[in-house]
A and B are shown apart, each in its own frame.
Chain A
């Protein structure tokens, strides 16, 4: 047996990925199906001199990680739908204050407490617009333990690079399925460290004055520089401002720093896309079912392809439009009422040629669910 091969749940792969990326601080409130993330970190994080704290609820957990991040720590919290709802306000604070953090949402059936032990992908739009106000955000996902590890590291890297909350949208099936993980060695995946200011002690530090490349070097809160952090619209010193030119600049900065780097943020996996007559678009655990169908049908000569999205937000519009251009039919496979379907319809030339294969009853989407829709697009009955 090779030592670096382990048999783990997606949730554990996420924990291992977070520790690989340098997680220092976790605050959370356990909730099915994300509980294993908190459970494992409660042992492993203190063992590497990190801090684990179980807070009184999800609101305080989110606030705690934002505070810890400002002091220079790499931070994460993990939850599921009901807890993700509670985190939205402080998530917006992290957007406004440009505080790097990773929020894991292992999706289950909703709304409300819904189906605690069943799978869903119903939080895709909540990740995008759950917190109020115009803003941009990064949301990533993955479909198996190996990819969960890598995408978790990526989540930390993007959070630091763009000084933003990054939402990791897992789901019950990905979180709970146990399978092979070959643990990457140190150095195998790049780990981005925080960009810290070079302004010396005693010199004015402007926390929100972008460098020429648009990035904002940080100074650990409570360290050598005194500075202000607020959820109000603010100027380059971090103090509240309602001057239109300041607010205009701030809003554009917050949105452009993410929407302007879509290509850099986009992660996709492609299977038989080039000559696909029917292109399936999927993500998370639904992409496993979809790839199962695609590989089986390819073996019979049917020209199916899969575009597996790992970056959901910012939505990779140009890439999706380009990949869809030569397919006759597009089928979006997801476990909700068409949250990514709508985004795909927005960007393709022929929105009427985009169909949905979904499942919303708590059951995991099966190959038969997908094949039924494929048959309809082929003009056959179900």
Chain B
């Protein structure tokens, strides 16, 4: 397989690092693949640019950072402006239309989804925005099954919050699957 080199980026507090951990753990534990996750962030606890790198491969992963992502997710304009130039030409770039105005000069398959607004409308809890994004992302990259993400969530998340996470994941998947039809 070609190495899947993913950068998830946004603002501290949006949950991009958590999403990256869940994604990588699902790949490693439930898909029989190898995965490495790392992150870079500033000294502040909230706010500031936040970035997490995930590499998914069927071989050993030595260099743990992503230099040229073939999958990039940007959840803020700041992150988009900073990282969209890194993407491998022709790569896949996902943004949230509420936060990011895409630049058509970026050489990538760019997709924007109104994930944040949909999460507010349908679930009412912005905290699961990142899981909705994860649902959309795995539907595009097709390496990780939703069930694998759910297994990780079951281990990591208190039972009381599992249902809204499941709804968010399904919402993300649904947004991608119905995208062509509505547009």
Contact = CB atoms under 8 A, between A and B. Distances in A.
Interface of A: 1, 5, 7, 32, 116-118, 173, 176-180, 285, 288-289, 291-292, 295, 364, 366-368
B24 interface: yes
B67 A366 contact: yes
A178 B42 contact: no
B24 A177 contact: no
Nearest to B60: A295
Contacts, number: 58
B34 A117 contact: no
B38 A178 contact: yes
A1 B25 CA distance: 12
Contacts of B42: 117
A178 B36 contact: yes
A374 to B, nearest CB: 15
Interface string B56-68: 0000011111010
A5 B42 CA distance: 31
Interface of B: 21, 24-25, 28-30, 34-43, 61-65, 67
Lowest 8 A-B CB distances belong to which pairs? A292-B63, A292-B62, A7-B25, A178-B37, A177-B38, A179-B36, A177-B64, A288-B62
B49 to A, nearest CB: 12
Contacts of A285: 64
Nearest to A145: B36
Q: Which of A179, A285, A289, A367 has the most CB of B within 10 A?
A: A179
Nearest to A119: B40
A364 B21 contact: no
Contacts of A116: 43
Given A117-B40, A179-B61, A364-B64, 4 more contacts: A117-B43, A173-B38, A179-B35, A285-B64
A178 B21 CA distance: 8
B23 to A, nearest CB: 11
Contact of A7 (B28, B63, B65): B28
Contacts of B64: 173, 177, 179, 285, 288, 364
A366 B65 contact: yes
A95 B90 CA distance: 58
Nearest to A362: B40
A175 to B, nearest CB: 10
A7 B35 contact: yes
Given A366-B63, A366-B65, A1 B38 contact: no
Nearest to B28: A7
Nearest to A6: B29
A292 B42 CA distance: 27
A168 B87 CA distance: 37
A285 B28 CA distance: 21
Nearest to B48: A117
A296 B41 CA distance: 29
B5 to A, nearest CB: 13
A289 B63 contact: yes
A293 to B, nearest CB: 8
Nearest to B44: A117
A288 B63 contact: yes
Nearest to B21: A178
Contacts of A288: 62-64
A118 B42 CA distance: 9
A126 to B, nearest CB: 22
Given A288-B62, A288-B64, A289-B63, A180 B28 contact: yes
A292 B28 CA distance: 20
Contacts of A7: 21, 24-25, 28-29, 35
23 contacts: A7-B24, A7-B25, A7-B28, A7-B29, A7-B35, A116-B43, A117-B40, A117-B42, A118-B40, A176-B39, A178-B24, A178-B36, A178-B37, A178-B38, A180-B28, A180-B35, A285-B64, A288-B62, A288-B63, A291-B62, A364-B65, A366-B63, A368-B67
Q: Which of A7, A116, A180, A368 has the most CB of B within 10 A?
A: A7
Contacts of A118: 40
Contacts of A366: 63, 65, 67
B63 A367 contact: yes
